[in-house]
Amino acid sequence: MALAFPKTNGAIFAPLGAALLFYAWYGLSAVRAFWVGWVAGFAYFFMTFAWFGETVGAIIAPYGFVVTCGPALGDAFFGFALPGALVAFLARTLRSRDRLSRAIVPLGASAIFAACEWLRSEGLGPLGVPFGSLGFTQSSSVFAPLASFVGTYGVTFVICAIGAYAAYLVRMRAERGVLADVLIAGAAIAIITGAASALWPARNLDAPTFPVAAIQGDIAQSVKFVPGSLDRAIDRYEELSLRAKRAHPALVVWPETVIPTALNDSDALRVRFSELARTLDAELVVGTNVVTQSDAFNVLYFFAPDGGLDSIYRKRQLVPFAEHLPFAPLLSWIPLTREISHFSEGAASGIVAPGGVRIGPIICWESAFSGLFVGDVREGADAFIIATDDAWFGTTAGPYQHAQIAQMRALETGRWIVRAASTGISGIVAPDGSYREETSLDEEAVVTGKIGLPVATLYDAIGPLAIAIALGCIYALVLVVGRSRAR
């Protein structure tokens, strides 16, 4: 399953890995399936999250292993151990029932796995770790159109259903009608996937007309905070932005915290960026910090084409144990917590409308939370920008996984996305999930292009919580139906 993610990008390994996992769970007690799930989940997340500690691990050495082990253990509990126990309970309960009861076990098993994926990703709120969702691996596969209707967790459900029914076929091959059950399930999945593709709102997009630019300065994290780095960053991003002016962009986006200082404390820098916005005749988005006597925020400054300050967007979803310390009164005694930043959360969506296009701003980690995107769409966002500092993760799989998530967010919301990453991957993502423009890692780059009108998706109306509830109901319904038929 880990091989389904970048850099290997073996999307086919997602249902194959799920098949092996469900095969094991079907033959175990709930208690044993819980522990097998936790061990398997830890291995899966440890590999998938290995890039977490690329830079941070070196900073807090010798505690660097915690950066990967901690999230891997937690996500393994909610994402593998808990569904493992519930899948095994379902299989044991309905194993001796009639044919229909047995045939719907894989349906319930897939549903509870996907529901627990939502739980560990977004259901835990500020403690959620939404990376490693199986649905992300299908952002460029035949299942991608499904995201416009049922989102990432719905795609995970379909991928798991393929694996769960394959495992059912092998486990129950001696029972009458098993092959027919699997063929019926396969036909249903094929029909649903085909219908999603045929009805896909992003299949026919209007030509994009709004010119944009994303600036990738390629300043490594190792030199970002050394003496002289601030002047270097400003000079480089100014020069690259002036180069982008040739394309006459109406919006120019710089990455997250590309100006590593408290911009609210520097009148000179604010004036300089105002003048640059006026020179570009474009909305200039600058990633930086705001520090007050009581709070610090990770922010995006929006400088209008006339040089005025349109707004300041404050990051709403902070990285636990990196940008803030959960349960600080209880955990602050631990030595490594002294290295954790103590940012405060923003509260507003921060939507701005340069040139009449309503833009929803997203900073780094926030892009993995589909609920934020859906909320901004409901507040009127026509498109999104993602400003991120993936330099923390070097050339590991991290920047690639993060760039892949942007594709899924575009698919779900039917919105264009402009992505500016400090060292890559920057680009422009269309509502069909494709990168219309894309950079490589570790290069200075100017991305220019155009974005267009949004397309309405069913997922915008439903949202992730409703999908999670529906998945939980499917599991409960399978259990109830199976038991009632036995009675």
Whether pLDDT at 241 is above 90: yes
Domain holding 138, by residue range, is: 2-201+463-486
Q: How far is it, in rounded angstroms, from Cα 286 to Cα 265?
A: 15
Of 29, 152, 162, 1, give the one whose Cα is nearest residue 87: 29
Q: Is residue 404 located within the same domain as residue 321?
A: yes
Residue 386 pLDDT greater than 70, yes or no: yes
Residues 173 and 265 reside in one and the same domain: no
Same domain membership, residue 144 and residue 261: no
- The model carries a pTM of 0.94
**Nearest to residue 151, comparing CAs of 372, 428, 380?**
372
Q: Band of the pLDDT at 49, cuts 50, 70, 90?
A: very high
**332-372, pLDDT tens digit by residue?**
656 555 656 678 889 899 999 999 999 999 999 999 999 99
Clarify whether residues 236 and 193 are in a common domain: no
Residues 154 and 302 in one domain: no
- Do 169 and 216 share a structural domain? no
pLDDT for residue 282? 97
Compute the average pLDDT of residues 168-194. Answer: 93
% of the chain with per-residue pLDDT over 70: 94
Residues 195 and 221 in one domain: no
Based on the fold, state whether residues 277 and 148 are members of the same structural domain.
Answer: no
Residues 333 and 427 in one domain: yes
**103-107, 133-137, 226-230, 476-480: segment of lowest average pLDDT:** 226-230
Number of domains in the chain: 2
Measured between alpha carbons, how far is 104 from 471 in angstroms, rounded to an integer? 14
411 residue type, one letter: L
DSSP per residue, 149-176? HHHHHHHHHHHHHHHHHHHHHHHTTTST
At 343, phi and psi to the nearest 5? Answer: -85, 160
* Residues 439 and 482 both lie in one domain: no
Looking up residue 222, the CATH number of its domain turns out to be 3.60.110.10
Over the Cα atoms of the chain, what is R_g?
23
Predicted local distance difference test score (pLDDT) of residue 482: 79
pLDDT band at 175 (very low <50, low <70, confident <90, very high): confident
218: left (phi over 0), alpha (psi -120 to 50) or beta: left
